[in-house]
Structure 1
Amino acid sequence: MRSYRRRLLVVPALLCAITSLVARPVDAVGDGKGGPNHNGTGGDSVLSARVVKLYEDAARATERYQAGRQEAEAQRAKALRIEKLLDRERREIGVLREDLGRLARAQYRSGGGMPLTAQILLASSPDQLMRGQHVFSQTNLAVGNAIDKSRRAEARLTRDEARSAAAWESLEKRNTELARLKKGIEDKLEEARWQLQGEADASVAAGSCPGAVRLDQKKTDGAGAWVAPVRSYELSAGFGSGGLRWAHRHTGQDFAVPIGTPVRAVGDGQVVKVACGGAFGMEIVVRHANGYFTQYAHLATVAVDQGERVDTGQWIGQSGTTGNSTGPHLHFEVRVTPEMGSAVDPVPWLTKRDVPVG
């Protein structure tokens, strides 16, 4: 493994080569208040806060929607079980009807359908007549019970079918409402995202970073000494990959996230650079106690000022697509100096600090 000293020796040569190919971002002077490239307005804090709030609303709506879908799946499974029970009830009713037919036929064969006068005339003895009447009474009782049982079963079946259909209809209606609510919030969020990006593009085009937009972070969500720069993401361009948009090789790891996603400081440190313009658009560089620097680029807003101390997991900005960017993402670098040309692969660097990326 090459030593850091050897890397530092080749940094000047790399900087000269890269400077000739890629325009350097406009740096802010480290005065601790944003430097001359900051207009001191604090940016559009209302819009930034609205984007963060809509993210939270969308997350809650998504949770409710997913819970509704899970409930729907549970209801679907329950409906299938009920349908099996209903099928069994239908089969039982069919059996009862067959029994009724069998009893009626048996009653007819045993003379149950014969008038009482004919039975008296044809009976060979009073005992035969009494036995016939007893069988007739028992048969009539069995037929009556079977008819009553069949009617109760049919009423229960009708009631269960109606209850099942009503429950399913209610659940579908609720899920439709949840889906509509979720889409409404997402539409508002998407509109706010691009409004935020439009303002960021205007600032970058003017080469003037707005002042820090203070985001209302209820709780620093860093569980350990180090965290990933964004909470939820998909990896896109990796370290060292080739591409027409880079002068040589890709110098960081890209995290594909929507515009306005809160970006976190991966570790404790101090902001040494806040800049706008150039290939990286709106960017932040943080120095850490272990001698490394981390860069966060293509932002839509910055939430810290140059010279400010930051904690692990603290929101320092919001992702965007400013500068040399083909779409919304966070460009994240780990460097041995604050300047470009000294980057190391950030994925194994984070992995060694118990932050798996992938």
Structure 2
Amino acid sequence: MRSLRRHPLFVPVLLCALAVLAARPTEAADGGGDSDISAQVARLYEDAAVATQQYEAGRQEAEAQRGKAERIEGLLDRERREIAVMHEDLGRIARAQYRTSGGMPLTAQIVLARSPDELMRGQHVFSQANLAVSNAIDKSRRAEARLAADEAKAAAAWQMLEKRNAQLASLKKDIEQKLEEARGQLQGQADASVAAGACRGAVRLDQPRTSFTQTWVAPVETYELSAGFGNGGARWANRHTGQDFAVPIGTPVRAVGAGRVAKVSCGGAFGIEIVVQHAGGYYTQYAHLAAVSVDQGERVSTGQRIGQSGTTGNSTGPHLHFEVRVTPELGSGVDPVPWLTARGVPLG
């Protein structure tokens, strides 16, 4: 990670950018229609991802700053010890100068000197002692000034660290709160569609700029695996027919490969679902969605966002139910994990 110290404008620009994200009003607050909620959630989802990324970058920089501050504290302790030693040296020089009559008046030294050479040697010793004392005093003063500057630097570093972290955390929390509210609205609309047995229609989502070079991808970008293929339980009539991905409501769902949308439906145990037909005779299903962004019969590409996850139908919490089948209908499923692994997409 690049150091913020080499880029002094990074922090204010970052905070301004996040402030813009946090300040963007929701569509509901602006009186936007219900059909816009999917796009709103998708936008807030991206904003939250940016805020989280920048917050983590700031947190890592904070750790580096913490280490720097601890090193400064170590330096301060060393400088304090050095100053204490200097003070001891000053006392030792002063005592030695007193014992050797270094402070004797020049007239007395002339009277007591047994020869001009002895007088010159005495003057030389006296000058050297004064020079040593003067140098020690100057060195001590410089060290004390450096100590004061380092103490101020350490205090400023900690203050900047705490202020930046507080700002980043506040902006991140604000965006996530807006996202949570929008997710609730999206799921409410989805539940109404399922209850009515009629889909609201496709709401187009902005597609990621990244073009996928691989033929197959995971159905969601970030996830935790939950119920797997073949699991038993009271929630299923026989056994679990797919792989569940635990993700928040509104998470963009991707087509795992290129194909054609064979089915879009709302209602029943799967809630809102999409089935995509792929070359080679396989079908993939994406169920318990909150919204769809494709129409039946539409061609899709690898990684294209085709919907948003939810918890519609027979679902106990937000997740994506993903199946791989040899027919478009339930009952012909194969285990999605080894199927995707064999196509270069290991899950875990």
* Superposition TM-score, scaled by structure 1 size: 0.84
Pick from 315, 330, 335 the counterpart of residue 305 of structure 2.
Answer: 315
For residues 82 and 310 of structure 2, the distance between their equivalents in structure 1, rounded to whole angstroms, comes to: 65
Pick from 219, 243, 247 the counterpart of residue 257 of structure 1.
Answer: 247
Work out the number of aligned pairs and report it.
316
CA deviation digits over 1:7-33, x for unaligned, max 9? xxxxxxxxxxxxxxxxxxxxxxxxxxx
- What amino acid is the match of 1:242? G
Pairwise CA distance, 1:50:
1.1
For residues 218 and 116 of structure 2, the distance between their equivalents in structure 1, rounded to whole angstroms, comes to: 100
Residue pairs, 1:97-136, within 5 angstroms: 97-116=87-106, 119=109, 122-125=112-115, 127-136=117-126
Q: Which runs of 5+ in 1 are unaligned?
A: 1-42
Partner of 2:144: 154
CA deviation digits over 1:142-175, x for unaligned, max 9? 1111111111111111112112221221122112
For residues 243 and 111 of structure 2, the distance between their equivalents in structure 1, rounded to whole angstroms, comes to: 107
* Superposition TM-score, scaled by structure 2 size: 0.86
For residues 261 and 326 of structure 1, the distance between their equivalents in structure 2, rounded to whole angstroms, comes to: 17
Pick from 244, 251, 272 the counterpart of residue 234 of structure 2.
Answer: 244
Partner of 1:7: none
Pairwise CA distance, 1:63:
1.6
Residue pairs, 1:242-321, within 5 angstroms: 242-321=232-311
Partner of 2:51: 61
For residues 196 and 221 of structure 1, the distance between their equivalents in structure 2, rounded to whole angstroms, comes to: 28
For residues 94 and 132 of structure 1, the distance between their equivalents in structure 2, rounded to whole angstroms, comes to: 30
Q: What is the SS of the residue equivalent to 2:198?
A: coil
Corresponding position: 1:223 with 2:213: yes
For residues 121 and 296 of structure 2, the distance between their equivalents in structure 1, rounded to whole angstroms, comes to: 110
Pairwise CA distance, 1:334:
0.6
Residues 259 and 122 (structure 1), Cα distance of their counterparts in 2 relative to 1, 3 Å cut: same
Partner of 1:9: none
Asked if structure 1 preserves the Cα contact closer than 8 Å seen for 2:69 and 2:157, the reply is: no
Q: What is the SS of the residue equivalent to 1:154?
A: helix
For residues 220 and 118 of structure 1, the distance between their equivalents in structure 2, rounded to whole angstroms, comes to: 92
Q: Which runs of 5+ in 2 are unaligned?
A: 1-32
Asked if structure 2 preserves the Cα contact closer than 8 Å seen for 1:220 and 1:314, the reply is: no
For residues 248 and 76 of structure 2, the distance between their equivalents in structure 1, rounded to whole angstroms, comes to: 48
Moved more, 264-273 or 322-331: 264-273
- What amino acid is the match of 1:165? A
RMSD: 1.8
Q: What is the SS of the residue equivalent to 2:321?
A: strand
Pairwise CA distance, 1:312:
1.3
Partner of 2:75: 85
- What amino acid is the match of 2:124? H
Asked if structure 1 preserves the Cα contact closer than 8 Å seen for 2:41 and 2:182, the reply is: yes
Partner of 1:50: 40
Residues 209 and 166 (structure 1), Cα distance of their counterparts in 2 relative to 1, 3 Å cut: same
Asked if structure 2 preserves the Cα contact closer than 8 Å seen for 1:220 and 1:313, the reply is: no
Partner of 1:356: 346
- What amino acid is the match of 1:294? T
Partner of 2:318: 328
Asked if structure 2 preserves the Cα contact closer than 8 Å seen for 1:221 and 1:314, the reply is: no
Partner of 2:155: 165
Larger-gyration structure (1/2): 1
For residues 341 and 72 of structure 1, the distance between their equivalents in structure 2, rounded to whole angstroms, comes to: 53
